[in-house]
């Protein structure tokens, strides 16, 4: 089932932006988590940042999969 045409055009631009934002968020939480672990600071904070990284990676994959499903050319 294809998406209605009036929703398809705006979503062509929204999904890639969401994917990039989720990827940048995952990268940022990875970097901050690694820096926090290297410093030896609060281990709970590092663990929380790594959980956020996993969540954001999953979100990026979900957005990417939805984008590919909605805009495949069959």
- Per-domain boundaries in the chain: 9-70
**pTM (two decimals):** 0.77
At 31, is the pLDDT very low, low, confident or very high (cuts 50, 70, 90)? Answer: very high
pLDDT digits over 9-18, tens only?
A: 777 788 889 8
Contact 60, 30 (CB under 8 A): no
Could you give the CA distance from residue 71 to residue 74 in angstroms, rounded to a whole number? 9
Instruction: Report the share of the chain in percent with pLDDT over 70.
Output: 85
Other CB atoms closer than 10 Å to residue 70's CB: what's the count?
Answer: 14
Other CB atoms closer than 10 Å to residue 60's CB: what's the count?
Answer: 19
pLDDT at residue number 45? 92
pLDDT at residue number 15? 82
């Amino acid at each position: 089932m294809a998406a209605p045409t009036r929703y398809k055009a705006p979503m062509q631009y929204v999904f890639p932006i969401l994917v990039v934002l989720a990827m940048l968020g995952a990268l940022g939480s990875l970097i901050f988590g690694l820096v926090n672990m290297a410093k030896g600071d609060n281990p709970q904070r590092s663990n929380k940042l790594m959980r956020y990284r996993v969540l954001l990676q999953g979100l990026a994959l979900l957005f990417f999969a939805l984008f590919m499903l909605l805009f495949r050319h069959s």
